Amino acid sequence: MKQYVILVFTSSHAIGIEQKLKKMGVPCKLCAIPRNLSSDCGICVRFDETNLETVEALVKTLSFDIQEIIATNY
Amino acid sequence: MTIVYMDNAATTWPKPPEVLAAMTRTMEEAGGNAGRGGHRLAVAAGEILYQVRDTVAVFFGCSDPFRVTFTANATESINLILKGYLKPGDHVLVSPLEHNAVMRPLQFLAQQNIQWSVLPSAKDGRIDTTLIEPMIRQNTRLFVICHESNVNGVIQPIHEISKIAHSFHIPLLADCSQSAGSVPIDIDSDGIDFLVFTGHKSLFGPVGTGGIVWGSQANIEQITPLKQGGTGSVSDRYDQPDFLPDKFESGTLNIVGLSGLKAGIDWINRNQMNQLSSEKDVLLQKFLDEIRAIKRVQVFCAEKKENQGGVFSLIIERLDNGFAAQWLDEEKGILSRVGLHCAPLAHRFLHTFPAGTIRFAVSPFTTCEDVEICIDAIKMLAEKKETAHFL
Ligand SMILES: Cc1ncc(COP(=O)(O)O)c(C=O)c1O
């Protein structure tokens, strides 16, 4: 299944998103940022395609900006 | 001799055992650097940090964990806000019971033509809200209010003060160093814009923890960080990040201490703060009622019971405070705090400057027996004719 990652500007935001998704029962994982993607904060949140809409909806409600959500084969 | 610890306003002691256990666990199981790197120990530390943020936010009624900024203590938090927000020519209104954590930065800022004045109050220092409006000047940019005095325990009517401040579009900084964990606080419904707390008093965390909770209307863009430096984020740039929480949190945070702070707040939540506070109130009122009846003892506390926090002060006529406190310690094992309590403004206001007072502060760990030992000891002191005699 297609995988996505949420890239953020700081790892606190990645953890914040992960904890919110977990509370909502959406499977996700904090993981190291794939090397081909540029971001400095070290970690991103990975989830699969079935949850894309839920994640996009959640991102709209956050108090901070994320960098982007991108598909990855990693 | 057992210790009767009455210096809880300086820092609470003992701490719940859960606080120590949490700190040890963090060192052992989450020993990486939060926000730096992606390995498991760094992520574990980051997760703990997020949980502390969330716990603090919920505790103060804030819906966004990232509107919690961690600092080393209330002093750093207050410096951050005063130095980051005020501009030359600004004017600040303060309560008569402010701590030097507020007064010294304000005195420093006076060099930049930032002025302050003291709000009118009742004799115990509780602000008279009917007299606030005429004090507001065109350049008044901030109210700074010590929510609970660390000298006489007076609790300020923070909500009423903020209503007036907000009607002039002026934000309010509440120094909740003493009140946090002992008086219920809801940041938005109390009308607090900048909520300052320290972790090591009634929140039962360790020393070296504290922070700011930003009210939902607080304009964070206007505030310059006190420190610039590494955040583990946007490291390709020399500019300080402008987003929360990194904007104000350069440098490695005290994650071990903060995990202890979370355990302290969890302990309060488990034991129900209202319950803890009402038990504390009963003890304190017994304490106050009994010593007010002792001749030669002058008590400094709130005029009305409902405005009294867990702290009060006293002096004994013709007896030197220092000698009295030393006698209490050496002869009775009672640890009190004597002097000006870093609050010369409050002591000048209460006419106890420069000798200060002897301060007592109870905590949920204070027992009825502790209070009885104190009452008996104060009675004995008051029976001494004068310092020379009692030496
Ligand atoms: C009212 C008040 N404000 C500020 C402070 C400063 O707290 P800290 O020393 O933790 O920065 C204290 C503690 O002594 C206090 O009682």
Distance CA B325, CA B4 (A): 13
How many domains, chain A?
A: 1
The kind and range of the H/E element at B343 are none
**Inter-chain touch A43–B38, beta carbons under 8 Å:** yes
Question: Beta partners for B300?
Answer: B313
Residue B16's pLDDT is 98
Residue with structure tokens 């894309």?
A52
B242 in contact with chain A, both atoms CB, cutoff 8 A: no
B241: which chain A residues are within 8 Å (Cβ-Cβ)? 9-10
Reading the block at residue B127, the tokens are: 């602000």
Distance CA A53, CA B95 (A): 51
Is residue B86 within 8 A of residue B114, CB to CB? The reply is yes
Query: Which amino acid makes up residue B315?
Result: I
**Nearest-CA neighbor of B106 among B344, B340, B356?**
B344
**Inter-chain touch B49–A15, beta carbons under 8 Å:** yes
Q: What is the pLDDT of residues A23-38, one digit of tens each?
A: 999 999 998 887 666 6
Distance CA B130, CA B142 (A): 18
Please report how the helices B17-29 and B40-59 are oriented relative to each other, as an axis angle in degrees rounded to 10.
150
Residue B238's pLDDT is 92
Written as one string, the DSSP assignment of B28-63 is: HH--S-TTS-SSHHHHHHHHHHHHHHHHHHHHTT-S
The domain spanning residue A47 has which CATH number? 3.30.70
Measured distance between the N- and C-terminal CA atoms of chain A, rounded to whole angstroms: 11
Burial B347-359 (b: 16+ CB within 10 A, else e): bebbebeeebbbb
Residue B236's pLDDT is 83
Residue B386's pLDDT is 62
Q: What are the φ and ψ backbone dihedral angles of B220, each rounded to 5 degrees?
A: -70, -25
Is residue B321 within 8 A of residue B355, CB to CB? The reply is yes
The Å distance, Cα B99 to ligand 1 centre, comes to 7
Burial class (CB in 10 A: 0-12, 13-18, 19+), B291: buried
Q: Which of A10, A17, A30, A66 to mutate to test the interface with B (most CBs of B within 10 A)?
A: A10
The kind and range of the H/E element at B292 are helix B273-292
Reading the block at residue B54, the tokens are: 């969330």
Is residue A26 within 8 A of residue A55, CB to CB? The reply is yes
Q: Which residues of chain B have pLDDT under 50?
A: none
User: Mean pLDDT over all residues of chain A?
Assistant: 90
A68 in contact with chain B, both atoms CB, cutoff 8 A: no
**Inter-chain touch A43–B46, beta carbons under 8 Å:** yes
* Closest chain B residue to the Cα of A45, Cα to Cα: B38
B67: which chain A residues are within 8 Å (Cβ-Cβ)? 63
Distance CA B292, CA B335 (A): 20
Distance CA B102, CA B118 (A): 12
B236 in contact with chain A, both atoms CB, cutoff 8 A: yes
**Nearest-CA neighbor of B321 among B179, B151, B149, B177?**
B151
Residue A1's pLDDT is 87
**Inter-chain touch B35–A41, beta carbons under 8 Å:** yes
Residue B234's pLDDT is 84
Identify the structural domains of chain B with CATH numbers, from first to last. Answer: 4-13+272-382 (3.90.1150.10), 17-270 (3.40.640.10)
Q: What is the pLDDT of residues B298-330, one digit of tens each?
A: 999 999 999 999 999 999 998 999 999 999 999
ipTM above 0.90, yes or no: no
Residue B142's pLDDT is 98
Write down the number of H helices and E strands in chain A. 2, 4
**Nearest-CA neighbor of B109 among B142, B147, B135, B138?**
B142
Q: What is the pLDDT of residues B95-151, one digit of tens each?
A: 999 999 999 999 999 999 999 999 999 999 999 999 999 999 999 999 999 999 999
Three-state DSSP class for A57?
helix
- Domain hosting A45: range is 3-72
